């Protein structure tokens, strides 16, 4: 068979999105922080756009269902509607169940001990913060004034160490301290770099380990705890032996074995563990490298008449305006190429404004439906969260499911129960005994946590006992393995590891 290159005509149908549709989808996915930068960049590149930053006075929140919504009612263009965009979408729907990104440690010991600390302390609220005003005040303070861990250590280094060479070695060691506060560098490489004995580097590291915060500069979790014990409980030999000799047993809560080894009662081991809870396993976490810049895109709350109110929270977004920097008479005298460029600027400016209006309109509709369907949650808390899917919202507002996925991506909602990611409100369901109503999987997790919090710690409940208790009290038939799965997701240990020994 002879191979040759030749041209031929072929007819085919393919989907092509207009510039407006492409930009609309791009802007729809942006959370407010990213959108703010995008608007500023567009305004810098387009002379027909002007931005004005809003003051800090909050505008009145539109009433729930009010057709005169200030930030969304301008989407009344006859040639543009949400259906113009979503009817062309065939994008695969993002998975509703997405686990949070968790930084994995290479050493199993770190993972076990971190889980142990999480388990033995009260689990934090499922929301980011239960107080909206407190959260906003914390987020929007001058984050540049926050001191990093490395800066904090360098300041102490310059005060505590006078030898110039030791200061240089100390700076190299501090540069190798990670966000947890642990030294992860190579002692031999540092000694070769400065032409000194490894003992000299070790000596400087020991000095840094006496800096604030306590435990900083440790090479592993065991050393971190021993440093803090030496500084805070120097006379407690049992506590020191617990870490030095029974560290592995501690991570698995083998209390009877530890008690036999230390020749004390199990209840005394519990007392030692309570002292360990006062120490900080990761001292570097007191100095976050990157401040948390999460900002709610929507605020949901109840007004004086106990009615839901929805606000698109664009307080920190610049207000964008279309301007005419060049008069029409002047444009007529310009060369053809410049006229074409001006035309592109005008089209781009109008398109951006329409895309922003469409984004706010779609976001408001989605948030409104979530608030309506999850009203019990808004009033009473997480145990009243209902099962919800993208399809349910899509059918109610007549848009495609993939548009819902784009609309909620990376966005947060402030509610009377706290600030939650939009995805939090979407979860699968478990049928009750009646078979008519379903409970959200997150509601079931909350029930499991409540039961475990209220159990007798000296006789903790097994997963099977928890399943039977939920069926009796809540009317939810749930398998033992499902209890185990949810418990592990919440980092709650099994019954053996939850057992507390008393006198």
**What is the rounded CA–CA span in Å between residue 417 and residue 285?**
26
Q: What percent of the chain has pLDDT over 70?
A: 78
Long-range contacts, 390-393 (Cβ 8 Å, 24+): 390/93, 390/96, 390/426, 393/366, 393/369
Quick: pLDDT tens for 45-83. 989 888 888 664 444 333 333 333 333 333 233 333 333
Task: Report pLDDT for 222.
Answer: 92
Query: In the structure, what pLDDT confidence band is assigned to residue 437 with cuts at 50, 70 and 90?
Result: low
Query: In the structure, what pLDDT confidence band is assigned to residue 336 with cuts at 50, 70 and 90?
Result: confident
Task: Report pLDDT for 181.
Answer: 92
Query: In the structure, what pLDDT confidence band is assigned to residue 495 with cuts at 50, 70 and 90?
Result: confident
Residue 109 has pLDDT above 80, yes or no: no
CA distances from residue 204 to 164, 194, 222, 283, 375 in whole angstroms, order as listed: 12, 13, 20, 19, 59
Mean pLDDT of 405-421: 91
Which range has the worst mean pLDDT, 219-228, 388-397, 422-431?
Answer: 422-431
Task: Report pLDDT for 25.
Answer: 87
Task: Report pLDDT for 89.
Answer: 37
From the CB of residue 332, how many other CB atoms can be counted at a distance below 10 Å? 8
**What is the rounded CA–CA span in Å between residue 29 and residue 54?**
23
First to last CA, the chain: 91
Same topology, domains 147-286 and 427-498? Answer is yes
Task: Report pLDDT for 252.
Answer: 86
Task: Report pLDDT for 239.
Answer: 92
Query: In the structure, what pLDDT confidence band is assigned to residue 101 with cuts at 50, 70 and 90?
Result: very low
Strand partners, 418: 415
**What is the rounded CA–CA span in Å between residue 451 and residue 466?**
8
**What is the rounded CA–CA span in Å between residue 138 and residue 393?**
33
Task: Report pLDDT for 107.
Answer: 44
CA distances from residue 474 to 432, 433, 466, 470 in whole angstroms, order as listed: 8, 9, 11, 5
DSSP string, 418-486: EEEEGGGG-B-EEEBTTSS-EEEHHHHHHHHHHHHHHS-TTSPPPHHHHHHHHHHHH-B---HHHHHHH
**What is the rounded CA–CA span in Å between residue 290 and residue 179?**
10
Per the structure block, which two tokens stand in for 214? Answer: 């306590």
Residue 158: strand, helix, or coil: helix
Quick: pLDDT tens for 350-391. 999 999 999 999 999 999 999 999 999 999 888 888 889 899
Mean pLDDT of 6-23: 78
Task: Name the phi and psi angles at 63, rounded to 5.
Answer: -65, 150
| Bigger pLDDT: 291 vs 489 | 489
Task: Report pLDDT for 293.
Answer: 64
Average pLDDT, the chain: 79
CATH topology of domain 147-286: Arc Repressor Mutant, subunit A (1.10.10)
From the CB of residue 307, how many other CB atoms can be counted at a distance below 10 Å? 11
Residue 63: strand, helix, or coil: strand
Task: Report pLDDT for 436.
Answer: 54
DSSP string, 296-360: -SEEEEE-TTS-EEEEE--TTSPEEEE---S-HHHHHTS-HHHHHHHHHHHHHHHHHHHHHHHHH
Residue 128 has pLDDT above 50, yes or no: no
Task: Report pLDDT for 240.
Answer: 93
DSSP string, 404-420: HHHHHTT-EEEETTEEE
Task: Report pLDDT for 206.
Answer: 93
| Bigger pLDDT: 271 vs 291 | 271
Mean pLDDT of 106-135: 45
Residue 313 has pLDDT above 60, yes or no: yes
- Is the separation of the CB atoms in 434 and 472 below 8 Å? no
Task: State the Cα angle at 413 between 412 and 419, rounded to 5°.
Answer: 90
- In the DSSP assignment, the letter for residue 283 is G
Per the structure block, which two tokens stand in for 298? Answer: 């929507």
Radius of gyration of the chain measured on its C-alpha atoms: 30
Task: Report pLDDT for 428.
Answer: 78
Find the helix or strand (DSSP H, E) in which 193 lies. helix 187-194
Quick: pLDDT tens for 455-490. 888 888 999 989 889 888 888 888 888 888 888 888
State the residue for tokens 């408001």.
364
**What is the rounded CA–CA span in Å between residue 357 and residue 39?**
13
Q: Locate the domains of the chain by residue range.
A: 19-73+294-378+416-423, 147-286, 427-498
CATH of domain 427-498: 1.10.10.60
**What is the rounded CA–CA span in Å between residue 477 and residue 493?**
22
Residue 207 has pLDDT above 90, yes or no: yes
Task: Report pLDDT for 117.
Answer: 46
Residue 404 has pLDDT above 70, yes or no: yes
Which range has the worst mean pLDDT, 12-16, 233-237, 295-299?
Answer: 12-16
CA-nearest of 437, 406, 440 to 422 is 406
Strands 412-415 vs 298-302: parallel, antiparallel or unpaired: parallel
Mean pLDDT of 214-233: 93
């Amino acid at each position: 068979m002879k191979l040759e290159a030749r041209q031929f005509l072929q007819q085919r149908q393919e989907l092509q999105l207009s510039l407006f549709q492409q930009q609309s989808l791009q802007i729809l996915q942006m959370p407010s922080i990213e959108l703010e930068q995008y608007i500023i960049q567009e305004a810098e590149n387009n002379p027909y756009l002007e931005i004005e930053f809003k003051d800090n006075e909050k505008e009145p929140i539109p009433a729930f269902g009010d057709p005169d919504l200030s930030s969304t009612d301008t989407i009344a263009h006859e040639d543009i509607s949400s259906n113009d965009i979503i009817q062309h979408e065939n994008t695969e729907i993002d998975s509703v169940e997405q686990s949070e990104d968790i930084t994995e440690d290479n050493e199993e010991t770190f993972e076990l001990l971190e889980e142990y600390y999480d388990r033995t302390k009260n689990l934090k609220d499922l929301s980011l913060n239960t107080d909206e005003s407190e959260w906003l005040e914390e987020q929007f303070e001058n984050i540049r004034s926050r001191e990093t861990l490395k800066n904090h250590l360098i300041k102490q280094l310059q005060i505590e160490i006078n030898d110039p060479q030791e200061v240089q070695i100390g700076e190299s060691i501090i540069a190798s301290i990670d966000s947890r506060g642990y030294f992860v560098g190579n002692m031999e490489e540092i000694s070769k770099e400065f032409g000194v004995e490894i003992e000299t580097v070790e000596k400087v590291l020991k000095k840094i380990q006496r800096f604030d915060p306590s435990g900083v500069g440790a090479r592993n979790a065991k050393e971190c705890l021993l440093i803090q014990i030496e500084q805070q409980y120097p006379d407690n030999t049992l506590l020191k032996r617990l870490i030095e000799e029974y560290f592995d047993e501690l991570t698995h809560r083998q209390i009877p074995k530890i008690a036999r080894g230390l020749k004390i009662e199990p209840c005394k081991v519990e007392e030692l563990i309570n002292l360990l809870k006062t120490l900080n396993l990761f001292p570097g976490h007191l100095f976050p490298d990157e401040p948390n810049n999460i900002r709610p895109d929507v605020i949901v709350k109840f007004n004086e008449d106990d009615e839901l109110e929805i606000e698109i929270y664009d307080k920190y977004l610049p207000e964008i305006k279309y301007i005419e920097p060049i008069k029409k008479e002047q444009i007529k005298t310009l060369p053809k190429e410049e006229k074409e460029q001006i035309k592109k600027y005008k089209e781009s400016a109008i398109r951006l404004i329409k895309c922003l209006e469409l984004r706010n309109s779609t976001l408001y509709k989605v948030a409104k439906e979530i608030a309506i369907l999850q009203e019990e949650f808004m009033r009473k808390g997480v145990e009243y969260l209902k099962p919800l899917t993208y399809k349910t919202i899509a059918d109610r507002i007549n848009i495609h499911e993939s548009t819902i996925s784009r609309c909620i991506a990376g966005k947060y909602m402030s509610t009377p129960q706290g600030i939650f990611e939009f995805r939090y409100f979407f979860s699968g369901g478990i049928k009750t005994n009646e078979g008519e109503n379903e409970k959200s999987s997150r509601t079931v997790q909350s029930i499991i946590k409540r039961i475990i919090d209220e159990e007798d710690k000296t006789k903790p409940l097994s997963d099977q006992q928890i399943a039977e208790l939920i069926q009796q009290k809540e009317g939810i038939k749930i398998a033992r393995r499902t209890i185990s799965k949810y418990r592990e997701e919440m980092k709650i240990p099994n019954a053996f590891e939850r057992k507390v020994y008393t006198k």
